[in-house]
Amino acid sequence: MRELPCTATGAVDYYFPPGDKRDHVMGLVRLGQAFGRQHCGRKPGFLHHYICGIVAGMEKPTFANLLAELDLAAARRDAGDDHEPIERVSRSFELLTFHDPRAGRCQIALGTLRDYLTAAKKAKTNNTGHRLYEESALVNCAHAVHRAAKKQRKIL
C-alpha cells in the first residue's frame, strides 16, 4: 500500500483516478499554490531584518531585553562604530532613532518597535520546525481533497 500524501498535489494524484477531472483539479491546486506564495501587504524593511537578527540571538526575547540590546547598539554607535544603525533609544519620548541605509535618519515609536518584536518572534518560531502558514494551508487543502474523494467513493 502506498504512503498517504502530505502535499496537496500528492493528495490529488493519490485520490483522483487519471483523467480530465484530475488534471483540472491538479491545475486548480497549482494555481492555489502560486496564489498562496504571493506576498500581501508591506514588505519587511531594514529595521525588521535588524530586529529579527537581534531576536534570533536572544535566549528570552522580551521587550525589556530588546530595549537593552538596542541601548547597547546605540552606545556602540556613540563609541564610533558606524556599522550600528541604532542612534538613540528615548524612553521619555518613547522613540527609537535609527539610520536606514536608504531613507537616512528615521524615528519610530516604541509601540511600533513592539510590533516588530512580535513579528520577529513569529519568524523565529517558524524557523524552528513549525509549519509556515502557506504550508499548513496546502496541507489543509490536501485533507479537503481527501475528504471529497471519500465522499465521492461513498456515493459511487
Question: pLDDT grade, residue 14 (50/70/90)?
Answer: confident
| pLDDT reported for residue 153 | 64
| 120 and 145 assigned to the same domain | no
Residue 143 in any domain: the answer is yes
Q: What is the pairing mode between strands 104-109 and 95-100? A: antiparallel
Q: Cα-Cα-Cα-Cα dihedral of 52, 56, 60, 63, to 10°?
A: -10
CA distance 154 to 96: 62
Q: How many domains does the chain have?
A: 2
Q: Cα-Cα-Cα-Cα dihedral of 61, 67, 73, 77, to 10°?
A: 160
Question: pLDDT grade, residue 93 (50/70/90)?
Answer: very high
Segment 37-45 long-range contacts (CB within 8 Å, at least 24 positions apart)? 37/134, 44/119, 45/100
pLDDT in tens, 115-154: 999 999 988 776 544 434 444 455 555 566 666 666 666 6
Task: Please report where in the chains the cell 535618519 appears, as a residue.
Answer: 105
CA distance 89 to 108: 10
Residue 38, C-alpha cell as written in the block: 504571493
pTM value > 0.85? no
Residue 70 in any domain: the answer is yes
Tell me: pLDDT of 44 over 60: yes
| 57 and 108 assigned to the same domain | yes
Question: pLDDT grade, residue 30 (50/70/90)?
Answer: confident
Handedness of CA 50, 122, 136, 7 (dihedral sign): positive
DSSP letter, residue 99:
E
| 21 and 90 assigned to the same domain | no
Name the residue range of residue 76's domain.
Answer: 46-126
Q: What percent of the chain has pLDDT over 90?
A: 41
| 68 and 135 assigned to the same domain | no
Tell me: pLDDT of 70 over 60: yes
| 50 and 121 assigned to the same domain | yes
